[in-house]
Amino acid sequence: MGAIWDILNLALLAATIRMATPLILTAIGGVFTERSGVTNIGMEGMMLFGAFFGVLASYWTGSPWWGMVGGVAAGGVAGAIHALLAIKYSANQIVSALGINVLALGLTPYLSAITWGSRGASDEVAGLPRWEIPLIREIPVISEILGPHAPTVFLMVAIVVVAQIVLFKTKWGLRVRAVGEFARAAATAGVPVQQTRYICVVISGILSGLAGVHLALGHLAMFSWGMTGGRGFIALAVMIFGNWRPYRTLAAGLVFGFADALQIRLQGLGVPVQFMQMIPYLVTIAVLAGVMGRSRPPADIGKPYEAG
Amino acid sequence: MLAKVIAPLRSILPEIVAVCAAFMVGAIVLWVTGHPIGDTFYRLFHGAFGTRNAIGTTLTRATPLVFTGLAFSIAFQCGLFNIGAEGQLQVGAFAAAWVGFALPAMPPFVHIPLAFAAAALAGVLWALIPGVLRAKRGVHEVVTTMMLAHVGILLTRYFVFGPFKAPGLIPHTERIASTVQLARIMPPTQLSTALFIALFCAFAVYLFLWKTSLGYGIRAAGLNPTAAEAGGVPITYSIILSLLLSGGLAGLGGAGEVLGVFHRFIDGFSPGYGWDGIAVGLLGRLHPIGIVLSALLFGALRVGGIAIDRTTDVPLDIAVVLQAMVILFIAAPKLLKFIRKRK
């Protein structure tokens, strides 16, 4: 029994939140882009850009906050490139997103080698501080779970709430959903289809960039080659598991975050590490195969829209 | 005479423009980061084609890309994205290695085909789940093939770190029997007869897709599923068949590497041939001839990138940046038209 409680403890729950944060941030971005009818499997690359430029900006300025700005901006620019290709130039959305992923895998070690002399890892830079919530700090059990965490964790919670309100309680949110379900009808009703899609894809880039900042400045304070490790793809599964809804995406992200935190702890128990690392991928396939009941993506997804 | 040369060139103009545009962006990246443009590109080209050994190495690198490019394309002809060829390649490579080191030595004409068959079977198995899920339940194959790619990479890694690890520090299997090794055709380079098998597969895929009714069904399902179904093409069957063939081809690519180049399964033997196959297939416009040519280009980029890294202070990742730019330019034909108009 003792061994189990060594693993299932409060630190595990704290780790769950930390591991879930980049998945949820990216998946919320995915909710916006897919709700507007544009697929984005390039979020892995956008996250990698966010991680790299976050570290680069922190390195240049000495401030992790400028690092956050840099990472978010880089993710947003990568999102804008995907949006431009997919929306204006009617690119195949899967191909252009793959191009973004490959670009991130090439450009980040290239620039890392030029800046720090190593394509594998950056120097250590100023990382984000850890925050505690003043009142909760006094409560014994909950304080261990809810803090101290990187500011990105608290930002993530706020973003989930805002995303839910924006998508389901505002006029613009209604338009986003209409564009993703039936672009032509939305256009007839006077919704600027292309503009709505641009904004949503850039939002997904920004949130992926923020997820990268969380990974690079939230707990390590450095960049390493391919450090996103497939989380951008797992986030797609989180989004689907969350049925393209922010609150459910939050819950789904916590489930995946828990699996991720657990697999790291189980590595000490003699289970081969490779089998543990397979878990998120296998869970994703099981979820997609309909174990959780069927989910329905927005109807107009992946289809370029041409006015006129 | 001149017209005969120019006509086919005109039809592949978009691809030529895409490659040129990619190199232009690459030049900008080099310029911004303070590296000499002309010298770097010269070394890239010389490293890939400048000597006999360079050519042999480029062809060696292009061989698996022909397989994975074909794998991506045969699925895409059916409208499917098999972006998990990397996993199918890895399990195929391991299956071929297992036949090579675990089974007793046999005459080469039995042993070699057996190893290739095992590799193809492993690749097919790896594509089976995405194929069935897509055909029967409508689950998008992009995510399933990619997730299974990671599972395949991890599974083979477990094998060579665990039960099949040969003594020593390096995570690899025992050496395969000499009866299953493919002949080297350009020593001292590692170029083997796997190249001829790749070219044969390209020819076979061409015959299959354009000269058989099964292949026609696959292409029809990709062009217009509704019309194809109305015309009597069994869509479900075409989807599963094309994904299985795709997985099998990627698996054969893994066998070519093990039997021709490494003579054992080594963890990390592939620098991403499966992922590169996507770009190869797209640039080759999903046609076997185009795939062979673009495999040559991407093989050259890889080999030239290593040459740059060795002889200059330009990081080899510039080759990956060039590859990404080719994909982005190929993704958006309208962008290319826009660039051409501006000239």
pLDDT tens digits, one per residue of B117-154: 999 999 999 999 999 888 888 788 888 898 899 999 99
- Residue A193 backbone zone (phi > 0: left; psi -120 to 50: alpha; other: beta): alpha
pLDDT for B281 beyond 50: yes
CA distance A285 to A281: 6
- A-facing residues of B in 70-89 (CB < 8 A) are 81, 83
Find where tokens 């198995």 sit: B125
Are the C-beta atoms of residues B31 and B37 closer than 8 Å to each other? yes
Residue A120 is given by DSSP the state S
CA distance A85 to B302: 26
CB contact under 8 A, A281 and B151: yes
Q: Shortest Cα distance from A16 to chain B (angstroms)?
A: 22
- First-residue to last-residue Cα distance in chain B: 28
Of chain A, the percentage scoring pLDDT greater than 70 comes to 94
CA distance A44 to A26: 9
pLDDT of residue A308: 45
CA distance B241 to B149: 19
List chain B residues with CB under 8 Å of A85. Answer: 328, 331-332, 335
Kindly tell me the burial class for residue A229, based on how many C-beta atoms sit within 10 Å of its own C-beta (0-12, 13-18, 19 or more). Answer: middle
For residue A229, what is the nearest residue in chain B, using CA coordinates?
Answer: B150
Out of A167-171, A194-198, A265-269, B275-279, which region has the weakest mean confidence (pLDDT)? A265-269
List chain B residues with CB under 8 Å of A96. Answer: 327-328, 331-332
Task: State the pLDDT confidence band at B107, using cuts at 50, 70 and 90.
Answer: confident
User: For the complex shown, is ipTM > 0.85?
Assistant: yes
Task: Give mean pLDDT, residues A105-116.
Answer: 93
CB pairs under 8 A between A and B: 128
Task: Give mean pLDDT, residues B73-96.
Answer: 92
Using the Cβ of B107 and the Cβ atoms of chain A, whether some distance falls under 8 Å is answered with no
CB contact under 8 A, B155 and A285: no
Kindly tell me the burial class for residue A275, based on how many C-beta atoms sit within 10 Å of its own C-beta (0-12, 13-18, 19 or more). Answer: middle
More confident residue, A55 or A279: A55
pLDDT of residue B245: 94
pLDDT of residue B206: 93
Out of A22-31, A228-237, B1-10, B23-32, which region has the weakest mean confidence (pLDDT)? B1-10
A178: tokens are: 């209409």
CB contact under 8 A, A99 and B327: yes
pLDDT of residue B251: 95
Top residue of A223, A236, A239, A288 to mutate, by most chain B CBs within 10 Å, is A288
Task: State the pLDDT confidence band at A189, using cuts at 50, 70 and 90.
Answer: confident
Task: Give mean pLDDT, residues A73-91.
Answer: 93
Residue A185 neighbours by CB under 8 Å, 6+ apart:
A178
Instruction: List C-alpha distances in Å: A265 to A281, A284, B14, B317.
Output: 18, 20, 51, 34
pLDDT for B312 beyond 50: yes
Of the ranges A84-98, B62-76, B122-136, which is most confident?
A: B62-76
CB contact under 8 A, B133 and A102: no
Q: What is residue B192's three-state secondary structure?
A: strand
pTM of the model: 0.89
CA distance A2 to B229: 61
Of the ranges A30-34, A266-270, B12-16, B226-230, which is most confident?
A: A30-34
CB contact under 8 A, A275 and B154: yes
Task: Give mean pLDDT, residues A89-113.
Answer: 91
CA B161 to chain centre: 26
CA distance B329 to B343: 16
CA distance A289 to A215: 29
Find where tokens 């599963």 sit: B240
pLDDT (tens digit per residue) in A243-257: 899 999 999 999 889
Amino acid occupying residue A60: W
List chain B residues with CB under 8 Å of A113. Answer: 315, 317
Task: Give mean pLDDT, residues A80-109.
Answer: 91
Find where tokens 């423009």 sit: B17
Task: State the pLDDT confidence band at A126, using cuts at 50, 70 and 90.
Answer: confident
List chain A residues with CB under 8 Å of B21. Answer: none
Task: State the pLDDT confidence band at A230, using cuts at 50, 70 and 90.
Answer: confident
Residue B212 neighbours by CB under 8 Å, 6+ apart:
none
Q: What's the length of chain A?
A: 308
Are the C-beta atoms of residues A299 and A31 closer than 8 Å to each other? no
pLDDT of residue B341: 63
Using the Cβ of B310 and the Cβ atoms of chain A, whether some distance falls under 8 Å is answered with no
pLDDT of residue A2: 55
pLDDT of residue B7: 67
Task: State the pLDDT confidence band at A64, using cuts at 50, 70 and 90.
Answer: very high
Are the C-beta atoms of residues B92 and B123 closer than 8 Å to each other? yes
More confident residue, A99 or B234: A99
Task: State the pLDDT confidence band at A291, using cuts at 50, 70 and 90.
Answer: low
Are the C-beta atoms of residues A277 and A68 closer than 8 Å to each other? no
What is the number of alpha carbons within 13 Å of residue B243 lying toward its C-beta? 27
- A-facing residues of B in 2-41 (CB < 8 A) are 29, 33
Residue A122 neighbours by CB under 8 Å, 6+ apart:
A55, A56, A59, A112, A115, A116, A222, A223, A224
CA distance A39 to A103: 18
A187: tokens are: 């256009």
- DSSP alpha helix (H) spans, chain B: 2-11, 13-32, 37-49, 52-76, 85-102, 108-137, 141-161, 194-211, 213-223, 225-230, 235-256, 273-283, 288-311, 318-331, 333-342
CA distance B10 to A290: 47
CB contact under 8 A, B317 and A110: yes
Using the Cβ of B94 and the Cβ atoms of chain A, whether some distance falls under 8 Å is answered with no
Neighbours of B187 (CB within 10 A): 10
Amino acid occupying residue A2: G
pLDDT of residue A162: 96
List chain A residues with CB under 8 Å of B306. Answer: none
Task: Give mean pLDDT, residues A64-72.
Answer: 95
**Which of these, B203, B195, B209, lies nearest to B257 by C-alpha position?**
B195
For residue B29, what is the nearest residue in chain A, using CA coordinates?
Answer: A107
Q: Shortest Cα distance from B67 to chain A (angstroms)?
A: 19
Using the Cβ of B199 and the Cβ atoms of chain A, whether some distance falls under 8 Å is answered with no
Query: Per-residue DSSP letters for A181-245?
Result: H-HHHHHHTT--HHHHHHHHHHHHHHHHHHHHHIIIIIIISS-BTTTTTTHHHHHHHHHHHTTT-
Top residue of A225, A233, A278, A301 to mutate, by most chain B CBs within 10 Å, is A278
CA B209 to chain centre: 18
The closest CB to that of B327, out of A95, A240, A275, belongs to: A95
